[in-house]
Structure 1
């Protein structure tokens, strides 16, 4: 990990300190996690699976609303 200097106005710093304390985190950890949520970070295998499973279901029905049979799904 690298150290970074961040400059902000006093009011923003006060709000950030209160928010960090309310989450039981250091200001450094709070800022790092906030930035990670904003710019992203590599997902763990579990996080990726959870995100995939939480997504929309695949629509496998045809134009008439009929779902494929087991044999049709496993053909080819």
Structure 2
């Protein structure tokens, strides 16, 4: 079951066209920074994988507001 969430693309901590590379970046970021909450690895319609703070998620579509884009969450870290 896929979960679609809206994120501002500019808030991404890392981006890559390879899921493994994006996931690795998320794990490295998480070990090097003290964060509240989790991280998510998500994929947009263009096939780009991005890492976001889970707390930056917007369940409702804010289309037309600050570049929110739909992402499918693939993994929570």
TM-score (norm 2): 0.25
Structure (1/2) with the larger strand percentage: 2
Structure (1/2) with the larger helix percentage: 1
TM-score (norm 1): 0.25
